[in-house]
Amino acid sequence: MKVLLTTLLLSCTSIICLAHFKLSGKINAYQQTPLSLSISIPLVYAVPSRTNANQEISIKSDGSFTWQTPLDEPHFAYLFIGDQKYLLWLKPNKELDLTIDGRRNHVDLFQGSAATENRLLQSLNFTASPFFMKRENEHYPYAAITFAGAQDSIVRPWLAEREEKFQLIRQSNLSKNDQSILTAEVQYNTLNYLSDFALSIARWKRADWSQFLTQLYDTVDIAQTKRATGFQYYLFVERYTRYLLGQALAQYQQDTTQKSRPLPYLNIPMDSAMVLAKAHGENYLAWLAIYHTFDQGTAEHYLAQQVSDQYIDGNYHDFTFLFKTFEHHFPHSVQGKWLKQYADTLNYKLSTNQGNAAIEILLSPDSIKSITKVLRQFKGKVVYLDIWGTWCGPCKEELTYLPQLKDKFNGQDLIFVYLDMDDDARDQLWRDFIYVNNITGIHLRMNNKAIQSVWNELLPDQVELRGQYPSYFIFDKQGNLVKGKAKRPSDQETLYQQLALYLK
């Protein structure tokens, strides 16, 4: 009996009794309005638009679904129901059962052992934009609010909403620990949206938004800030750190004679900071500031997410550097095993795709005098020209739509040509990005000086449109430019119709 009990305990420890979270439910009217379900569980935290990190949830013909994942600690995640997203709170050994209205992509009922906290989470409405960030008829009505009027029109009403959410949390029957987590998320959410408004929507003078951010963040005492587990905390860390870097730059500009003096929050001189930013991006400087400002746990988790983001975006160069930095500073981190798997995957993709004959890199771009003459070698085929850059976020976002575009025109007389604008020093970075992301087609690269002649050639009478990245152009089967500023891959059907016109 003792041997049997020991065996069962060992089995529980190794296999059967691992903690899990179970999600199940039913989509009503699924057969009339079929939709997709997916869930995104980031390594630490993430922006919900990173859909290529989502896990699809299988749905049966009657609309029912069941999904389960190992989970050793509570985690926030995003559930995508069609085009709608819901923030969920996953907890070990708990279950959540959802009743979904398939006509509205809406969760009507939360049931199960994780229902209470998830119902409250929806009431706190973290996924909805606040009133001052909403668009009406392609405009932001609150953008016209003056700096002086912001307190009465935005800040005070928003703080009142925060207090209402605090009250909902206090009145809940959640544990004190869970209440504390949600209270912190509400507080950080409040700060994050006010910061976003000042930086991206308000039409204020630089001095005004600088004063607004100073007033906003002067209320923050980092020494008293405890590391939280939610998305909003890490989004706050990002924003607050960039504010600190702005403060450091402002201090430096007041006295540029002390060039060797270490910058606040970075502990390195300005020249060294500029070199690091150029070589490894501003995200690395942000992490460096976090490393010197916040607790080590926050620095570890933030860097782990940055490494994960570079993996998802296929940025081999930045991933490799940040991963080595992570291994150096946090050799015993539990996230290390996942990041190592990411590194192995990227290295495999790089070595495999370097032998892909469908990826062709044209040499000697400096000798190119006319892009039209270059493309005439593809006479008999329609050419879709993509002018982009590895540094350009929107450009790389558009690349994620290429598989659908290429599947649509598979076997037809259509050639994809990619003209990248990057400094000569980034040549290897550019090549690695192409191979890791398996971007099939013809590739060229020019530096900013060389590519100006291409812009002049493609847009001779539209000076204001030159230098916009990404930009797309269509050449017909005779090698003539027939569509300047063509539709993007993300435009999908509209672009498909444009291309089909010239493939007839």
Looking at residues 52-79, what average pLDDT do you find? 90
Q: State residue 367's pLDDT score.
A: 64
Q: Which residues of 158-194 are buried (b: 16+ CB within 10 A; e: fewer)?
A: beeebeebbeebeebebeeebbebbbbbbbbbbbbbb
Token look-up 């795709």 returns: 353
| 197-224 pLDDT, tens digit each | 999 999 999 899 899 999 999 888 876 6
Distance separating the N- and C-terminal Cα atoms of the chain: 79
| Structural domains of the chain sorted by starting position, each given as residue range(s) with its CATH number in brackets | 2-122 (2.60.40), 129-205 (no CATH), 359-503 (3.40.30.10)
Q: State residue 255's pLDDT score.
A: 79
| 76-134 pLDDT, tens digit each | 999 999 989 999 999 999 999 999 999 999 999 999 999 999 999 999 999 999 999 99
349 with 438: CB under 8 angstroms? yes
* Closest of 416, 457, 459 to residue 438, by C-alpha: 416
Looking at residues 447-459, what average pLDDT do you find? 91
- pLDDT of 464 > 80? The answer is no
CA dihedral 453→454→457→459, nearest 10 degrees, is -110
Chain centre distance of CA 341: 20
In this structure, which amino acid lies at residue 169?
I
* Closest of 383, 387, 433, 377 to residue 409, by C-alpha: 383
Q: State residue 339's pLDDT score.
A: 94
Q: State residue 50's pLDDT score.
A: 45
Q: For residue 470, say if its preceding peptide bond is cis, omega within 30 degrees of 0.
A: yes
Average pLDDT, rounded, for the chain: 90
Strand partners, 382: 414
Least confident span in 164-168, 185-189, 367-371, 402-406 = 367-371
Does this model's pTM top 0.95? My answer is: no
485 with 471: CB under 8 angstroms? yes
105 with 79: CB under 8 angstroms? no
Q: State residue 32's pLDDT score.
A: 85
Cβ atoms < 10 Å from Cβ of 448: 11
